[in-house]
Amino acid sequence: MRACRVSCLLMGWIVLVTVTTFWIFIILHRDLSTEPIAMKGLQHYVISTRNAQSSSKMQSIDDSIIVTSVDKKVYNFTVAICLVVSDAEQYIQEWIDYHLIAMDFENIYIYDNSKTFELSRWFNNTRQHSIYNRVLVHHRPGKGTDDGKGRFLQAGVYQDCIKQYGTSKHGPQHDYFALIDIDEYLVPQTPRYRDIHGILKDYLVPYGGALVSNWMLFGSANRTIYSPVPVTKRFQYRDAKPHPVIKSIVKASDFRGNRNPHAVLLNDPKNVHTTEYPGAIQPNVYDDNDETKASSHVKASKVLLVHHYRYTSEKEHTYKRCIRGGLIGRWCDKKKGTVKTGDEVPSHIEPRPGEVFDDQAWQLLISKVPKYRIYDTPEWKDFF
């Protein structure tokens, strides 16, 4: 009987300690939550603390997965990109990762202008991917629009893209579209903004119409040949000041067409805005002497710029301007088979190495897409 009492007392203490430990654990960890994330076909979880100072940063359990904090802002509008591309397979993955993940665009719509649909394999291989399935690719060979008037290719592509994915009741009905190229990256210029939505919320959403951002031209960094390193890592020297040429982000319901690949036409009475201050209107929109409306000489640069990697390495630039175009480009010296220089070309066309170090795009990319951090390791030093 005595042995039984001792045994029962011991069991009681064990139960008490177990229950107490359990409730202490619950109390200490009451602010922890788990989020499901997809990784390599399985479902994993990351624990995030709502009150932690680091909760606003991206988290990852391995280099191939991006996990956003539970504190990620939710917006009541969506933003997509319309892109025309040709023969640029070596650049497409980085460009998509930057805009889709780092800048948080909802979707990207690519119109492949190559003759043989170069991006078809990439497209087919990513339909089951949890991130890249937000990128759709159309084959759009040929030159000019489908209207037979010989206009620039982007006119028809942008019209189709915004109609199909913006204003059509049968599509996803995105609210805003960025109209940029494969060698252009939309880069916030202040820590206040870390994605595209925050910028549009302050500078476009309250006003409608369109928002323009100036080019910032990045040079060759004196590189002569291609290397298998991301563009935003290889080329980190730019001009001292922004270039007047702009690119546009437009509200779908206000879009009427394109003046050119840079400037849009809007439904009355909407305006084209800049990031000089919230509500600022592009000064030359109503200037009859400026026929293209493709420039903004205010050069607002404190919020958002289009980092334009126009030149890349000497060999890449020559291929882009001369070889790919069959020596028919106006900036190509047909006799030499090289890009024109000096007085033969405008200042924004002539290649240069760049003056000012600027790695903002690269830092944003590696902060939100950790797999790119490998290029900062010593093992990749020989590629520079």
**DSSP labels, 161-209:** HHIIIII-TTS---SEEEE--TTEEEEESSTT--SHHHHHHHHTTTT-S
Task: Give dist(CA 371, CA 131) in Å, integer.
Answer: 14
Distances, alpha carbon 98 to alpha carbons 12, 190, 217, 226, 263, in Å: 59, 17, 18, 20, 23
Q: Which residues contact 233 (CB under 8 A, 6 or more apart)?
A: 362, 372, 375, 376
DSSP 231-274: HHHH--EE-SS-EEEEEEEEEGGGEEEESSSS-EEE-TT--EE-
CA distance 210 to 314: 35
| Nearest to 339, CA basis, from 347, 329, 348 | 329
Taking the C-alpha atoms of residue 185 and residue 217, their distance in angstroms, rounded to an integer, is: 11
Task: Tell me the β-bridge partners of 32.
Answer: 49
Inter-residue contact 168 to 177 (CB < 8 Å): no
What's the pLDDT score for residue 55? 34
Pairwise CA distance, residues 196 & 75, whole Å: 11
Q: Are 355 and 240 in contact (CB under 8 A)?
A: yes
Whether 227 contacts 316, CB under 8 Å? no
Asked whether the CA dihedral 233, 237, 242, 243 is positive or negative, the reply is negative
Q: 302 in helix, strand or coil? A: coil
| Domains of the chain and any CATH numbers | 27-72 (no CATH), 79-311+352-372 (3.90.550)
Burial of 265 (0-12, 13-18, 19+ CB in 10 A): middle
Residue type (1 letter), 196: I
Give the DSSP H/E element, type plus range, for residue 367.
helix 360-368
pTM beyond 0.85: no
Q: What share of the chain is helix, strand, coil (3-state, %, to 5)?
A: 30, 25, 45
* Rounded (10°) CA dihedral 384, 61, 36, 123: 30
Q: 339 — phi, psi (to 5°)?
A: -75, 140
Encode the chain (384 residues) as per-residue pLDDT tens digits: 555 554 555 565 555 555 555 554 444 444 333 333 332 232 222 322 223 333 333 333 334 545 444 457 899 999 999 999 998 899 999 999 999 999 999 999 999 999 999 999 999 999 999 999 999 999 999 876 544 444 688 999 999 999 999 999 999 999 999 999 999 999 999 999 999 999 999 999 999 999 999 999 999 999 989 999 999 999 999 999 999 999 999 999 999 999 999 999 999 999 999 999 999 999 866 555 566 788 998 999 999 999 999 999 888 888 877 876 554 466 677 666 677 777 777 777 778 999 999 999 999 999 999 999 999 999 888 776
Q: Is there a contact between 235 and 221 (Cβ–Cβ < 8 Å)?
A: yes
CA distance 228 to 219: 18
What confidence score (pLDDT) does residue 13 get? 59
Instruction: DSSP letter for 54, please.
Output: G
251: nearest Cα among 266, 238, 263, 232? 266
What's residue 142's pLDDT?
86
**What's the pLDDT at 57?**
36
Give dist(CA 225, CA 315) in Å, integer.
5
Q: Which two tokens stand for residue 247?
A: 């690119």
